[in-house]
Amino acid sequence: MNPSDETPAASPSLPAFEDVLAAAARIAPHARATPVLRSRALDELAGCELHFKAEHLQRGGAFKFRGACNAVWSLDLDRARCGVVTHSSGNHGAALALAAKTRGIACHVVVPEGAVEAKLESIRRYGAVLHRCAPTIAAREAVCAEVQRETGAELVHPYADPRVIAGQGTAALELLRETGPLDALLAPVGGGGLLGGSAIATAALAPGCKVFGAEPEGAADAARSLAAGERRIDFVPDTVCDGLRGTLGEPNFALLRRHAVEVVVVDDAETVAAMRLFWRIAKQTIEPSSATVLAAVLKQRERFAGKRVGLVLSGGNVDLDALPWSAA
């Protein structure tokens, strides 16, 4: 199979494994090599061997720091001087703010009204300037463009930027280097930065390892797009996974097709049950988006039975005053 036949949306800017390796070297002085967690009790419950890549323990509390850090440290001196700007409902904004801080440059974050307060706190704490906008794509692009015009800041898109995708791929790179070849690897999919980067790293390091996305039913555009063979991103997200409400990016879609990634859809009840289970047994405060991968394995138990499975936990920035099981 010739990948280029399969991926009409592929562009020359799609990152490759070399870019993931370069990102790993670039972010090494700043990012944390997060641990891989195991749990005897969860292995027994799932009927397979689970290896959790703990990105909720990454700086900023999410894998997003990897991509943001790679983008910030990829800028030449002249570009860096003008700072960076992004739009983000939370984790990417905080990550870019923190990455900019590691390089001592300015950071602007455009946030939609209604974003999770705990995540906005982090963005402020890391010293970025917040710009509020209406919760529409048009509004956030207009405000972003305005900030770019006024400051000359470099736009770092949360998931479609190839530097960001390459950076996110370093989590799977570290995971596979630690575990050796796995049978399956799962990552949550929102815009597809983490999943796209994971697919690149896995294809190179463990070609026999099947890559899965885990996606909430209320924002299942990746599953629909892969089924249709073209991006289907016109929908109103309705899910407790605030990190996965974005729409699948174009280069991200191309990467998922190229690497024959499959998406498992889980509903919010399954995600919240998996999240609570993980909190109770592993004692880790992961956010709902992270729990989709465990929910997917528990949902398709037969499929993963007896296998060695990697699961990328995307983050742990939870509003402790509004836990999803209290609301029920």
Site track 300-319 with a copy of itself (rule: CB under 8 A), x = hit: ----------------x---
What is the C-alpha to C-alpha distance for residues 123 and 143, in angstroms, rounded to an integer? Answer: 17
118 makes contact with a copy of itself (CB under 8 A): yes
44 makes contact with a copy of itself (CB under 8 A): no
37: left (phi over 0), alpha (psi -120 to 50) or beta: beta
325 makes contact with a copy of itself (CB under 8 A): yes
Indicate the residue among 59 and 92 with the shorter CB distance to a copy of itself. Answer: 59
Q: Which residue has the tokens 């007896």?
A: 306
Indicate the residue among 79 and 276 with the shorter CB distance to a copy of itself. Answer: 276
Q: Which residue has the tokens 């499975």?
A: 309
326 makes contact with a copy of itself (CB under 8 A): yes
CA 26, chain centre distance (Å): 19
Indicate the residue among 222 and 273 with the shorter CB distance to a copy of itself. Answer: 273
61 makes contact with a copy of itself (CB under 8 A): yes
Site track 251-290 with a copy of itself (rule: CB under 8 A), x = hit: -------------------------x--xx--xxxx----
The encoded tokens of residue 149 equal 């015009």
Indicate the residue among 248 and 293 with the shorter CB distance to a copy of itself. Answer: 293
57 makes contact with a copy of itself (CB under 8 A): yes
- One residue of 228, 236, 320, 327 binding a copy of itself per CB under 8 A: 320
Residues near 74 by beta carbon (within 8 Å), at least 6 away in sequence? 26, 163
- Burial class (CB within 10 angstroms; exposed 0-12, middle 13-18, buried 19+) of 315: buried
- One residue of 30, 51, 53, 56 binding a copy of itself per CB under 8 A: 56
Question: C-beta of 285: minimal distance to a copy of itself in Å?
Answer: 5
36 makes contact with a copy of itself (CB under 8 A): no
Q: Is the dihedral of CA 89, 19, 259, 188 positive or negative?
A: negative
What is the C-alpha to C-alpha distance for residues 191 and 193, in angstroms, rounded to an integer? Answer: 6
204 makes contact with a copy of itself (CB under 8 A): no
Cβ atoms of 112 and 131 within 8 Å: the answer is no
Q: At residue 8, what is the residue type? A: P
3-state secondary structure of 127: coil
Question: C-beta of 56: minimal distance to a copy of itself in Å?
Answer: 5
CA 201, chain centre distance (Å): 14
33 makes contact with a copy of itself (CB under 8 A): no
90 makes contact with a copy of itself (CB under 8 A): no
Return the H-helix or E-strand segment holding 22: helix 17-27
3-state secondary structure of 107: strand
Indicate the residue among 118 and 139 with the shorter CB distance to a copy of itself. Answer: 118
Give the residues lining the site for a copy of itself (CB under 8 A): 35, 40, 56-57, 59, 61, 118, 276, 279-280, 283-286, 316, 320-321, 323, 325-326
